[in-house]
């Protein structure tokens, strides 16, 4: 794992956009893994900019997102599918039939999870996965627990995650209580991972991820065992290192 401390979120966004651009230049039919939340937005804006400049071509890629709230349809304005369309996919030339987000309305989440992982494998596996980091150390919606969950599965969101995400909803009561997320095993299979964390609220989780012994109590700490992880931090997120 290597980490860089950069001056601000925009600088980090440009660096990550360059990684994705390099990936599609190197392999135009790459399978790319995406995340939602505030952290990746500057990267998505920079990717859109590079696309508009004609530097990046996403016409050959296939995408898989990390997670989705249970109970929200693709067109719900707080669904992660909607987020991706409105923050990235509508503005680059990724073919819409090759965009994949876990189905939050699945009737059988076990079957949905197995099918999602099987589809990623069948597509050749994720080449480059972007991650954010929860204040509690989660990646995707893999919350702190006793074991690392392996495959895509349904989770109960913790009070800490509901608290952190209520800013996008009218109130905490409206935040869905369940989500479907790639497992830690699914994430660890990505060939390269780039993680972005900014702001003081992430500092303790960043320290646990990078400096402390790996434990499923900080799910992101397992990334210490991944052969290709690049972490981008601002000074606040790096303040406990």
Q: Which of 113, 132, 137, 149 binds ligand F6R (CB under 6 A)?
A: 132
Annotation marks residue 213 as catalytic? no
Give the residue, chosen from 140, 144, 149, 219, that forms a contact with ligand F6R under the rule CB under 6 A. Answer: 140
Span interacting with ligand F6R, options 43-51, 126-134, 183-191, 226-234, rule CB under 6 A: 126-134
Give one word for 232, left, alpha or beta, with left for phi > 0 and alpha for psi -120 to 50. Answer: beta
Report the residue number, 55 or 105, with the smaller CB distance to ligand F6R. Answer: 105
Nearer Cβ to ligand F6R (127/143): 143
Q: How far is the CB of 132 from ligand F6R (least distance, A)?
A: 2
- Strands in 178-181's sheet, in edge-to-edge order, are 67-69, 178-181, 153-156
Is residue 101 involved in binding ligand F6R (CB under 6 A)?
no
CA distance 27 to 77: 32
Q: Does 36 bind ligand F6R (CB under 6 A)?
A: yes
d(CA 83, CA 28) in angstroms, rounded, equals 24
Active site residue 57: no
* 37 touches ligand F6R by CB under 6 A: yes
Please select the residue that binds ligand F6R; options are 134, 137, 149, 183, rule is CB under 6 A.
Answer: 134
Whole-angstrom CA distances from 57 to 87, 101, 131, 232 are 17, 21, 22, 24
Residues 39-98 that bind ligand F6R (CB under 6 A): 39, 66-67, 80
CB of 25 to ligand F6R, least distance (A): 25
Q: Does 217 participate in catalysis according to the annotation?
A: no
Show the binding pattern over residues 141-160: x = contacts ligand F6R (CB under 6 A), - = does not: x-------------------
CB of 92 or CB of 220, closer to ligand F6R: 220
| 206 touching ligand F6R, by CB under 6 A | no
138 a catalytic residue: yes
179 has which bridge partners? 69, 155
User: What residues line the site for ligand F6R (CB under 6 A)?
Assistant: 35-39, 66-67, 80, 132-134, 138-141
């Amino acid at each position: 794992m290597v980490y860089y401390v950069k001056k601000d979120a925009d600088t980090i966004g440009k660096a990550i956009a360059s990684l994705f651009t390099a990936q599609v230049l190197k392999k135009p039919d790459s399978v790319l893994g995406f995340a939602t939340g505030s952290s990746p937005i500057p990267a998505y804006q920079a990717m859109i900019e590079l696309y508009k400049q004609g530097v990046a071509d996403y016409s050959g890629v296939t995408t898989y997102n990390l997670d989705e709230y249970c109970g929200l349809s693709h067109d719900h304005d707080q669904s992660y599918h909607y987020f991706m369309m409105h923050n990235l996919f509508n503005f680059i030339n990724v073919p819409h039939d090759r965009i994949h987000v876990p189905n939050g309305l699945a009737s059988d989440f076990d079957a949905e999870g197995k099918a999602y992982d099987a589809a990623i494998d069948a597509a050749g596996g994720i080449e480059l996965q972007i991650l954010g980091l929860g204040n509690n150390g989660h990646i995707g919606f893999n919350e702190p627990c006793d074991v690392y969950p392996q495959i895509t599965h349904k989770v109960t969101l913790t009070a800490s995650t509901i608290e952190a995400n209520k800013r996008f909803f009218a109130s905490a009561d409206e935040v869905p209580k369940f989500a479907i997320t790639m497992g830690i095993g699914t994430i660890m299979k990505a060939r390269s991972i780039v993680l972005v964390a900014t702001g003081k609220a992430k500092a303790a989780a960043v320290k646990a991820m990078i400096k402390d012994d790996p434990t499923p109590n900080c799910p992101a700490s397992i990334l210490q065992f991944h052969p290709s992880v690049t972490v981008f931090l601002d000074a606040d997120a790096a303040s406990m290192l």
